[in-house]
Structure 1
Amino acid sequence: MSHQHFEGKFEVELKYRIPSKTQFLDTLQRMHHEVMLQDNLEFDSYFDTPEQQLLAQNKSLCIREMQPSGIKLWIVKGPEADRCEATNISDAYKAMSMLETLGYVSVHKMSKVRSIYFVGDFHITVDHLEGLGDFAEFAIMTNEESLLEDYRQRLLNLAAQFGLTEQDREHRSYRALQSDKLPV
């Protein structure tokens, strides 16, 4: 599998709640696609300053560990909605320790079961989060900011092939969805 799908500093991503994971995957099976990984368990650790300055600036900093694939990533998103950069790291524990040395604190942890598929230029992730349900993210990364709107339209068209509409869209991040479910 080419990691070219994950290169760039911009990401167009459309997230949808999927009412039937089985039906979604049946539709995918009828398309030409490649499998990057299936049913990986991902552990995300989000970091911020004690005052949550990154959150206030619409930025996020995450260290991700994926099993059984063994992939480890450092991910930064924001402040613009389409801004996202990720890089492979070899030691997630050391990266988290370094962030803590710099004064960052762990502010949120989450896990999800994720499968990643390639359909043409795009990647589709199918996620299950306990207590939240099943989701599909249609995405592409690029260094070309001028292509963002064209990609957004192409992703909307791809999602429509799965029967997904604007009513199925989820605009909140998984972190925000989980925070909304926490007791006050």
Structure 2
Amino acid sequence: MNTHHFQGKYEVELKYRLNSKAEFIKVLNSIPHETMLEDNVECDRYFDSADNALQSQHKSLCIRTMEPSGIKLWIVKGPEPDRCEATNITDASKACSMLETMGYNVVLNAQKTRSIFFVGPFHITVDSLDGLGDFAEFAIMTDDESMLATYKVELEALASKFGLTPMALETKSYRQMLLQKGA
């Protein structure tokens, strides 16, 4: 597995709502790309304190399990919009237990089906969430904060090759969308 795509403390990410997942995949198959995984089921457990301190600070804490790949991640996002760090863990149940011991509670369980592809230095995830629809995320992770604006322009150009326009841009996180929906 090519993990250098997921290294860095900043993530430039553009998420687009897809009208047709099949058409998106058709375009993807017409350009050079590498497949990391297809149709993995990801289960995300979001944690926060009883007073929602993390949410009020624009931070997100998540334990993710992925099957059938077996990948398990500890993910922290925020407080800046582009700040994102993830690390592999070996025991998701133990990590959740440790967070609960520290006073954090699960505030949301979310599940999605995800495929991950690499196009040059960028990764593209294609996600399906029951009740929300299909999405494509174009992203890159970096430690170089000075490159964030440049990467955003490059990601917009890549998305336009798929016929995606700013009108299809989704600025809410899956967590926000699910909470608004009442998940």
TM-score computed with the length of structure 1 as normaliser: 0.99
- Corresponding position of 1:20: 20
- Give the superposition deviation at 1:164: 0.2
- RMSD of the TM alignment (CA)? 0.7
Whether 1:65 and 2:95 are equivalent positions in the alignment is no
- Corresponding position of 2:180: 180
Report matched runs for 1:1-184 at 5 Å: 1-182=1-182
Cα distance in 2 for partners of 1:182, 1:105 equals 18
Q: Cα deviations across residues 111-134 of structure 1 (Å, max 9, x unaligned)?
A: 000000000000000000000000
Matched letter for residue 107 of structure 2: V
- Give the superposition deviation at 1:7: 0.1
Gaps of 5+ in 1: none
Cα distance in 2 for partners of 1:178, 1:89 equals 25
SS of the aligned residue for 2:141 comes to strand
Q: Cα deviations across residues 31-66 of structure 1 (Å, max 9, x unaligned)?
A: 000000000000000001000000000000000000
Cα distance in 2 for partners of 1:66, 1:180 equals 24
Cα distance in 2 for partners of 1:94, 1:180 equals 29
SS of the aligned residue for 1:151 comes to helix
- Give the superposition deviation at 1:146: 0.3
Gaps of 5+ in 2: none
Between the aligned residues of both structures, percent identity stands at 61
* Dislocated runs of 4+, deviation >2 Å: none
- Give the superposition deviation at 1:2: 1.5
Cα distance in 1 for partners of 2:56, 2:129 equals 25
